[in-house]
Structure 1
Amino acid sequence: MADETTLPAYLARPVGRTAPVGVVVAHELFAVNPDIRGVADDLAEAGYLAIAPEFYHRHTEPGRWLKRTDAGRQEGFALLHRLSREDALADVDACLGRLGQQPGIQRTALIGFSAGGHLAYLAACRLPVSRTAVLYGGWLPTTDIPMSRPTATLDLTPGISGRLLYLVGEDDALIDTGQRGQIHAALERAGVEHELVTYPGVEHAFFWRGTPAFDQKARDDAWTRILNLLAGY
């Protein structure tokens, strides 16, 4: 890295023929936990080369991830509030560069969850990414986290050059109807090729099995849409 730090990451390689698309998986509050590694593994099984970087690497030891507990959530927020916009973009850029150097990779994509969804949206605004899947990315219209400063990330929407898929639950307490309307309006105004999908009766973090918000039907639909997005080249 330019700041002389080392960026640890989980890399999942497909067996056999590799699709010409490399995918960066941006983790949520709890870092590169088994759920995030599972997404990378599932992408590899589908034929994609996937990399899940540890965005907290400047402030914690390599390989550390947090449990879905109050203590884990508190530590996660503390780490999230130390992740600056430019550091996050530098990390994604490094991963895109690494993917682009791999044999057979012609294009790159992003998938992000919650805080990582925000990061994926931000990166799509500032970096040459062809496809982006944002799962319930929060704080986009606000300046509540360092990644959304000095101006709200949503204001950067005109910089998106690729296609964007935004997936969110109708009952998401973090992303209410008003914010969903703001996101849709920003994408429409900027002329971004996009799809915004809202799942009725579904809450934040619906994608993760074993959590109170988990919704199998929404997860299945979301995964199908993600794979269709990646295959749409």
Structure 2
Amino acid sequence: MRRARRAAVRWDMANEYVGERVRVEVGGEVMGAYLARPSAPGRYPGVVVAHQLFGVTADVRGIADRLAGQGRVAIAPEFHHRSGAGIELPVTDEGRARGFALMRELSRDGVVSDMSAAMSYLRARGEVRAVTGVLGVSLGGHLAYLAAARLAVPVTLVLYAGWLTGTEIPVSTPEPTVELTGGITGRLVYVVGEQDPVVPPADRRVIADRLVAEGVSHDLVVVPGAGHAFLAEGTAGYSPAAAEFTWALIERELADADSQRTDG
């Protein structure tokens, strides 16, 4: 486990991009998703973006857009699609309550199927040369960790994911998701705010110890002074300094994965 150091990083959106709604087939059903891609012709690495409780909201689309601006094709699937199409909840007490209810309707097998379908969708697109990563925030971080344990993901970026060490939610049953760590074959980077109440120090230690015990290539980064959801621009939890540091880390990790995976 290591603490993050502040760094002054320049972010350069080098690519113009386009965003669109797409439909992904999952076991005979249709899952909606938001896709952001560079507008210039070419072949680019693909990334899956996993949303928090509230669905594919503006801040999640913003993450996909930023990745597209960096020269990637990013897809943000609607993991709540079995409960309803196009769910996008407000970040309010009412929206949070509905989000918790929807979270309890997710199943482990359903999430893995959705992740696999999203990755297959990217691979089938002509402009995608390889799927190199999964990035998840909050609940989506948990889903990303699960995907890393069940699917071949070169690098998984897990941001402030809760409930990994217990069985409080269906997607972390029958055993806690952290117990699946031995199935991770790629690199995993876990980033959490120092003051995040959702992921207390005891949970961080359990996650770090398990990653070490299973020999997973990883980093567990604690961002000083940051709370929960610090990457969620436009929300109360957003922290520009923590977000800047984390975006630099994301870009570095994805670039490393991109360089190692150039085949389709």
Normalised by the shorter chain, which TM-score bucket? over 0.9
Q: 2:40 aligns with which of 1, 12, 16?
A: 16
AA of the residue aligned to 1:188: V
Pairing 1:71–2:94 present: yes
Matched with 2:7 is: none
What SS is found at the alignment partner of 1:7?
strand
Partner of 1:133: 157
Aligned counterparts of 1:148 and 1:173: Cα–Cα separation in 2? 19
Q: Tell me the distance in 2 between the aligned counterparts of 1:212 and 1:84.
A: 29
Matches of 2:42 and 2:193, distance apart in 1: 32
- Contact 1:187/1:194, CA 8 A, preserved across alignment: yes
1:81 to 104, 112, 132: 104
Of 162, 171, 192, 1:147 maps to 171
Amino acid corresponding to residue 44 of structure 1 in structure 2: A
CA contact (8 A) 2:57 2:88 kept: yes
- Aligned-residue CA RMSD (Å): 1.3
Match of 2:228 among 191, 204, 208: 204
Q: CA deviation at 1:210?
A: 3.2
Cα displacement string for residues 104-135 of structure 1 (whole angstroms, at most 9, x for unaligned residues): 42233100000000000000000011011000
Percent same amino acid at aligned positions?
A: 46
**Contact kept? 1:15, 1:47, Cα under 8 Å:** no
Give 1:100's aligned residue.
123
Unpaired segments of 5 or more residues in structure 2? 1-24, 260-264
* CA displacement at 1:16 relative to structure 2: 2.1
CA distance in 2, matches of 1:41, 1:212: 21
Q: Which of 201, 212, 234 is the aligned partner of 1:177?
A: 201
Tell me if structure 2 keeps the 8 A contact 1:18–1:49: no
Report if the CA contact (8 A) 2:50-2:141 is conserved: yes
Of structures 1 and 2, the one scoring higher in RCO (CA 8 A, sep 6+) is 2
Residues 1:218 and 2:218 are matched in the alignment: no
Determine the structure 1 residue equivalent to 2:67.
43
Tell me which amino acid in the other structure corresponds to 1:85.
Answer: R
Indicate if the aligned counterparts of 1:19 and 1:49 stay in contact, CA closer than 8 A: no
Rounded to whole Å, the distance in 1 between the matches of 2:233 and 2:37 is: 23
CA contact (8 A) 1:20 1:48 kept: yes
**Contact 2:60–2:232 at 8 Å: present in 1 too?**
no
Structure 1, unaligned stretches of length 5 or more? none
Which amino acid in 1 is paired with 2:103?
Answer: L
What per-residue deviation string (whole Å, max 9, x for no partner) do you get for residues 139-175 of structure 1?
0011111110111100000111111111100111110
Partner AA of 1:170 in structure 2: E
How far apart, in 2, do the equivalents of 1:187 and 1:52 lie? 26
Q: Alignment length, in residue pairs?
A: 232
**What residue in structure 2 maps to residue 52 of structure 1?**
76
Q: 1:231 to 1:215 in 2, by over 3 A?
A: same
- Offset, 1:64: 2.4
Q: Which amino acid aligns with 1:64?
A: I
Report how far residue 100 of structure 1 moved.
Answer: 1.3
More strand by share: 2
